[in-house]
Amino acid sequence: MVEPDPKICSDPCRFDIFLVALDPTKGSEIKKTRPCVIISPDEMNHSLSTILVAPMTTTLRSYPTRVFLTFNDKKGQIALDQMRTLERLLHKAVIFDGDRNLKMFKAILGNSFGRIF
């Protein structure tokens, strides 16, 4: 996997966490405004008008596409099974850096989507 390049990384960057309005939704899609992790590579983030994100949730599921983490003192998961492509981000929350689950997050992305991630 390619690590974020700090030379080309201006907002938004891969593994940053943004507060995103996910409504409107259909069916069982994750709803409301919530933190989301940017998972698209920085090369895409700076070239396209859209960004690929995975929402975070405190509803815990035992899915292989969920990555456990603690964010703002709350236990939760990154829901890779609920990825979205977005054009608008609202508010940067924090950089997803140094978290012990970052390696697992990257591994799941790599296993699920191959070399693109």
Q: Centre a 10 Å sphere on the Cβ of residue 66 and count the other Cβ atoms it contains.
A: 20
116 vs 20: which has the higher pLDDT: 20
C-beta of residue 62 within 8 angstroms of C-beta of residue 80 = no
Model confidence pLDDT, tens digit, residues 30-54:
889 899 999 988 888 888 888 899 9
Structure tokens at 49: 């008008």
pTM of the model: 0.71
Span 16-112: which CATH code? 2.30.30.110
pLDDT for the residue numbered 12: 79
* Domain residue limits, the chain: 16-112
